């Protein structure tokens, strides 16, 4: 792309967000500050959302449609497995455990590969296509082992696409607007989690369609997702990728990246599946239908607050915003641990959406900000894989605590881990300025 600077890659320490913004502006003007931004010019066509490039906007639409497909099917899978196909509950747990473990373990590999080949769109498209195929296989399953294959293919697709997609978002966004971009994407993705279950509820409840038919309908938005990617979303060549023979890039990552990842893992060990929140709400007396409504309220809160949180994260130290999210999580989990009545479920779920809005997009922005532009897939993939595998461990621990100690136990432990992680994050902030990577790390001599 014409106009791109070819200055040697560097790793710099930024002492303030204003310095980072000023440096970014100088780089865009070709000045000496030299922040080596990705080829943003390739996708800077206008979008309906101020501060969000057209490519990021389209990736948000893709995630919205894809999540509608996923969330139409996901609430129906337990019933389809156990009632329609006669699978034991243990089989359902094994299927979902293997599916999520597969998705988590693939994210670092797909991110690394997207850095090496220098292109990301192909992996993103392949991932969404595999997920659409998995949904079709699910709808056509007549014995429960077929569901195992379908869910494996679906989650394999998620593992393939997530890190390259997040890296593509970062590649098409100036450093000063990463929070806004990831906040917008999280909002669009979560909006699908609101719309999808409502569509499924309408088709099953109002139109009395069989579950298998609804699962077939869910394939349609999955196919539309792939078409949108192929026709509208543009790829951005990855510049400055480290050659494979140069060694493993994460081993030379900024120290702040490892420190942040360590704190996140402390938190993730106590952050079990949201299924336990639903079970807890039902445990204290909320009906099944009202539990679904409460969960939808959580997703609405998450959707509405994600982009504002992202905008704020571009103006302050992102780690402080992330810390606030951890504190809110701890307070919500304390509320679920000592839930006095069903009336408290509603505000707790809404506030839980605040935690998600403050941390999900901000965490991605922090990682993308620390990563050299040619290695964002790898850095984001390691982040996603680490958090995902820790979440599997957290859910296993939560189940054991629920059964052997008390239903309140996993929430008390989760709150403690969140407060510990918040304290550690504040310690990182106090220890010094943020570390930002620009360009690429030089290969070892």
Final residue belonging to a domain, choices 195, 216, 237: 237
Same domain for 177 and 279?
no
Res 92 pLDDT > 80 = no
Tokens of 77: 């899978």
pLDDT (0 to 100) of residue 90: 66
Q: In this structure, is residue 5 part of a structural domain?
A: no
Give the helix ranges, DSSP H, for 232-317. 255-268, 275-283, 288-313
What range does the domain containing 283 cover? 248-436
Q: In this structure, is residue 138 part of a structural domain?
A: yes
pLDDT (0 to 100) of residue 278: 81
**pLDDT averaged over the chain?**
83
Burial of 5 from C-beta contacts in 10 A (0-12 / 13-18 / 19+): middle
pLDDT above 70 covers a percentage of the chain that reads 82
Q: In this structure, is residue 8 part of a structural domain?
A: no
Same domain for 332 and 204?
no
pLDDT (0 to 100) of residue 31: 35
pLDDT (0 to 100) of residue 281: 87
Res 17 pLDDT > 60 = no
pTM: 0.81
Tokens of 212: 């298998």
Same domain for 136 and 184?
yes
Final residue belonging to a domain, choices 237, 272, 302: 237
Q: In this structure, is residue 372 part of a structural domain?
A: yes
Helix (H, G, I), strand (E, B) or coil at 11: strand
Give the helix ranges, DSSP H, for 118-143. 121-139
pLDDT (0 to 100) of residue 22: 39
Render pLDDT for 164-213 as a digit per residue (tens, 0 to 9).
999 999 998 998 999 999 999 999 999 998 999 889 888 988 888 999 99
pLDDT above 90 covers a percentage of the chain that reads 53
pLDDT band at 89 (very low <50, low <70, confident <90, very high): low
Across 401-410, average pLDDT: 90
pLDDT (0 to 100) of residue 359: 96
Final residue belonging to a domain, choices 218, 237, 256: 237
Render pLDDT for 306-343 as a digit per residue (tens, 0 to 9).
999 999 999 999 999 999 999 999 999 999 999 888 88
Compare 430 and 333 and report the one with higher pLDDT: 333
Find, among 74, 128, 73, 88, the residue nearest to 273 by Cα. 74
Find, among 302, 345, 350, 329, the residue nearest to 412 by Cα. 329
The DSSP result for 384-395, as a single string, is HHHHHHHHHHHH
Residues forming a β-bridge with 37: none
Same domain for 291 and 424?
yes
Res 357 pLDDT > 70 = yes
Same domain for 213 and 277?
no
Q: What is the CATH number of the domain that holds 322?
A: 1.20.1250.20
């Amino acid at each position: 792309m014409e106009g791109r600077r070819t200055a040697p890659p560097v790793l710099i320490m930024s002492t303030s967000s204003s310095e980072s913004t000023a440096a970014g502006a100088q780089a865009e003007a070709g000045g000496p500050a030299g922040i080596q931004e990705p080829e943003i010019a390739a996708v800077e066509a206008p979008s309906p959302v101020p501060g969000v490039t057209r490519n990021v906007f389209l990736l948000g639409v893709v995630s919205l449609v894809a999540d509608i497909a996923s969330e139409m099917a996901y609430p129906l899978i337990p019933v389809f497995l156990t009632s329609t196909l006669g699978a034991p509950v243990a089989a359902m747990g094994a299927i979902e455990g293997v599916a999520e473990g597969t998705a988590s373990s693939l994210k670092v590999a797909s991110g690394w590969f997207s850095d090496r080949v220098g292109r990301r769109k192909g992996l993103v498209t392949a991932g969404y296509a595999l997920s659409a195929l998995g949904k079709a296989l699910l709808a056509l399953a007549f014995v429960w082992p077929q569901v195992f294959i379908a869910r494996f293919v679906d989650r394999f697709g998620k593992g393939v696409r997530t890190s390259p997609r997040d890296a593509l978002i970062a590649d098409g966004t100036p450093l000063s607007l990463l929070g806004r971009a990831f906040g917008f994407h999280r909002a669009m993705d979560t909006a699908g989690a609101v719309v999808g279950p409502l569509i499924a509820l309408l088709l099953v409840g109002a139109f009395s369609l069989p579950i298998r038919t609804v699962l077939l309908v869910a394939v349609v938005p999955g196919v539309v997702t792939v078409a949108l990617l192929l026709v509208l979303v543009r790829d951005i060549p990855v510049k400055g990728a480290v050659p494979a023979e140069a060694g493993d890039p994460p081993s030379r990552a900024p120290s702040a990246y490892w420190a942040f990842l360590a704190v996140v893992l402390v938190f993730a060990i106590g952050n079990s599946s949201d299924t336990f929140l639903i079970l807890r709400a039902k445990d204290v007396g909320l009906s099944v239908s009202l539990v679904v409504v409460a969960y939808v309220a959580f997703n609405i809160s998450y959707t509405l607050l994600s982009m504002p949180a992202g905008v704020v994260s571009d103006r302050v130290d992102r780690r402080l915003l992330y810390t606030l999210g951890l504190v809110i999580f701890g307070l919500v989990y304390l509320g679920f641990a000592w839930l006095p009545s069903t009336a408290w479920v509603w505000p707790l779920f809404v506030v839980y959406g605040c935690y998600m809005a403050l941390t999900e997009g901000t965490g991605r922005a922090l990682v993308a900000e620390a990563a050299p532009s040619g290695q964002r897939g790898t850095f984001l993939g390691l982040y996603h894989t680490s958090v995902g595998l820790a979440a599997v461990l957290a859910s296993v621990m939560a189940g054991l605590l629920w059964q052997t100690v008390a239903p309140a136990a996993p929430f008390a432990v989760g709150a403690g881990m969140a407060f510990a992680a918040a304290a550690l994050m504040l310690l990182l902030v106090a220890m010094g300025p943020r570390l930002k990577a620009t360009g690429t790390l030089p290969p070892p001599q």
